[in-house]
Structure 1
Amino acid sequence: MLTAIDSTDFKKNIDGKEVGFFVIKNKHGIEASFTNYGQRLISLYVPDRNGNMKDIVLGFSNLEDYINSKEPYFGATIGRYANRIAKGRFQIDGEDFKLAINNGQNHLHGGSKGFHNVVWTAHKISANEIEFTRTSPDMEEGYPGNLEIKVNYVLTDDNELKIKYFANSNKKTFVNLTHHSFFNLKGEGEGDINDHVLMINANHYLPIDVGLLPIGNIVKVANTPFDFTKPKSIKKAIEVDNQQLEFGNGYDHNFVLNKAPTNNDGLVLAAKVKEPESGRVMEVYTDEPGLQFYGGNFLDGEIVGKSSKAYVYRGAFCLETQHFPDSPNQKGFPSALLSPGEIYTSTCVYKFSIY
């Protein structure tokens, strides 16, 4: 086992449910560890061009640090609705629903006790596969319907971490699940990610207001700092005078993914990141219409992670596959409504290689 984390540091009873620590790996030695508290990816070891394995996701070595962290989303599964919903309100069939307000005037990432702050049921299926299940009760954080969720993780022998989400509800409700790992391909705690070279397969993005909510327009990335259709370093345009970058304190925007190219499973290549020093490469594939790119703008060096290193400003990036923010209130965005009898499905794949 690559991780030095002591599994007993994750043993605790929360709300009558046992928290634990779980490890999966593939035949090439790539290893991922999880806790069922918040369904978090705690560590992910992948090789560099010399075969050296390093953990590339930010996080902590014990449960208490996750519970008490001022950054609540490290490695977590986010729901019921990833990203922001304006003023924590939406309507379904003319009925008003009010959600928890936990981000200024808005609702963020499922609320103050979203899926990142609850204990899931874990089932390790095999050496390289684990599954988490939970029922989110009717009106939890203000969302209607009993929502039954299953999330499956497989570390394939093609060096992919494949995440598949499934959900169903007994009432109409909005669902938008995502994975919120903070990545640094040099290794967690190894400085900033500004030199990472990023490609995002999107000709359009969603401009935001000062509250980081999309204003409803879908805008071309051409001739803006948001054009990652050709690979470039994250830092290349991040300091230019641009109102959108000012609102986001850098990159914290949703990109409208193109529909091609796709892999053999029909999933769109959403993004590709290269880290020049290590040679690590991460590709992101999905069947979701959007990708949130967040550049670690709220990290400030105060949080110290599992390797006893400070997580500095822009010390990680997130690439979250999802429906668009505030879709319940934006008629021009793809709908995230789930009706009884329907099955919500979503797939995200993080694929690793070297160059």
Structure 2
Amino acid sequence: MKKLLIAITALAAVACNNNKTNETSMSETNISEAPFGVLASGDSVKLYTLKNASGMEVAISDLGGTIIKWTAPDKNGKFEDITLGSNNPEDYLSNTKYLGALIGRFGNRIAKGKFSLDGKEYTLAINNGPNSLHGGSNGFNAAIWTATPIEGAEPALKLTYLSKDGEEGYPGNLNVEVVYTLKNDNSLSIDYKATTDKSTVVNLTNHAYFNLKGEGNGDITDHEITINADKFLPTDAGLIPTGELKPVKGTPFDFTTAHLIGERINDTTDIDIKLGGGYDHCWVFTDQTNKLKSVANVLEPVSGRTMEVFTTEPAVQFYTGNFLNGKATGKSGKKYEFRYGFCLETQHFPDAPNQSAFPTTTLKPGETYTSTTVYKFGVKK
């Protein structure tokens, strides 16, 4: 009887230890999954929340691979959601602001929704005046991706999507993989990969809107920004690049040293500011290598929050929420008014398929498209 009691006690101890091991394993991954809602189509969508050892949380939906929530500490250690978004998944389909979404097959604009590749002309969906924007009427932002949590010391979420041949007018079956990794230094790495079975064009990015004061807490003109770019791309009235790479020196586009976003944003004596209604342009980095490099820094002086951007891409679209108009209501119930958020969309050049002097965005069978962008948060006290 005594031996039996000892055996039972031993088994109970093993079971207890196994449970502790499982609990530790789950807490190490810091990934939770929850329903996000049901779309009008009847499709259910989910929300995956990553949490790091520092307390930062990033919530991502399988709808559009969209970043729904992103918290960051201020100089007093207070965490606040610093990205624009909605609590209603249907809003991500009904508005055209692309809040937090993955963008593809081609980020930014393609003139007149047409391009030629290997001697054949392709016609795309037109959804921005006469042009095609961010992949068309139903781009990657509107797709439901397959989501796979990745266990490890730093939580990650892998998203995959098959963009079929002819979708929105683009050629080739494009297999896309995007991995979000939340690191313990309060950075979020976004790693993109894609392959195709037919020559096509690819330009992937994320369209997160940031307000380092907290989402809905006023406009972003009082943020200070540096962009490590010595040129930018002037545009026509439809925001299609003219083909010129214009030096930023001596213009309101010179952020090689820190300036407030609002310092020169309304200088309508500058034709490019006037055409963009502020900043909605592509900056070309001084460092054109495809290595991961620091390309931008942002400071919100009251909270002390800082954000540094690293990327392997050659350019960034800096957009200052010029089309936000108060019609969208944010997660905290506040209206998103004019310039309540800014975007730093790392990418290749807009309209590159039609401009041979620009770095190519062509992807051929047997090749692999890869790109990495990192957003790293800190504080300045």
Normalising by the smaller structure, the TM-score range is: over 0.9
| Alignment partners' CA distance in 2, 1:203 and 1:225 | 12
* 1:252 alignment partner in structure 2: 280
Name the TM-score, length of structure 1 as normaliser.
0.94
* 2:106 alignment partner in structure 1: 81
Per-residue deviation at 1:128? 1.4
Aligned-residue Cα RMSD (Å) equals: 1.8
Distance 1:260 1:145, change over 3 A: closer
Contact 1:59/1:75 (8 A) holds in 2: yes
* 2:59 alignment partner in structure 1: 33
* 2:168 alignment partner in structure 1: 141
* 2:251 alignment partner in structure 1: 224
Per-residue deviation at 1:260? 8.0
Give the counterpart letter for 2:74 in structure 1: D
| Alignment partners' CA distance in 1, 2:41 and 2:161 | 14
Name the TM-score, length of structure 2 as normaliser.
0.88
- Kindly provide the CA deviation profile for residues 211-255 of structure 1, in whole angstroms up to 9, marking residues without a partner as x: 011000001000000000000100111122211011000000000
Give the counterpart letter for 2:372 in structure 1: T
1:326 aligned to which of 351, 354, 360:
351
Is 1:154 paired with 2:178?
no
Aligned length: 347
* 1:291 alignment partner in structure 2: 316
Distance 1:173 1:14, change over 3 A: farther
Give the counterpart letter for 2:79 in structure 1: M
| Alignment partners' CA distance in 1, 2:55 and 2:288 | 31
- Kindly provide the CA deviation profile for residues 121-158 of structure 1, in whole angstroms up to 9, marking residues without a partner as x: 01111361101001100010000000000000001112
Per-residue deviation at 1:102? 0.5
Contact 2:288/2:314 (8 A) holds in 1: no
| Alignment partners' CA distance in 1, 2:144 and 2:262 | 37
Identity %: 50
Per-residue deviation at 1:304? 1.1
| Alignment partners' CA distance in 1, 2:266 and 2:145 | 41
Distance 1:260 1:93, change over 3 A: closer
* 1:4 alignment partner in structure 2: none
1:180 aligned to which of 185, 207, 211:
207
Runs of at least 5 residues in structure 2 that lack an aligned partner in the other structure:
1-26, 28-32
* 1:49 alignment partner in structure 2: 75
Distance 1:261 1:85, change over 3 A: closer
| Alignment partners' CA distance in 1, 2:180 and 2:348 | 20
- The structure richer in helix per residue is 2
* 1:242 alignment partner in structure 2: 270
Q: SS at 2:263's partner residue?
A: coil
* 1:106 alignment partner in structure 2: 131
Q: SS at 2:229's partner residue?
A: coil
Distance 1:42 1:175, change over 3 A: same
| Alignment partners' CA distance in 1, 2:246 and 2:216 | 34
| Alignment partners' CA distance in 1, 2:253 and 2:116 | 32
Is 1:119 paired with 2:144?
yes
Per-residue deviation at 1:12? 2.5
Per-residue deviation at 1:354? 0.4
Runs of at least 5 residues in structure 1 that lack an aligned partner in the other structure:
2-6
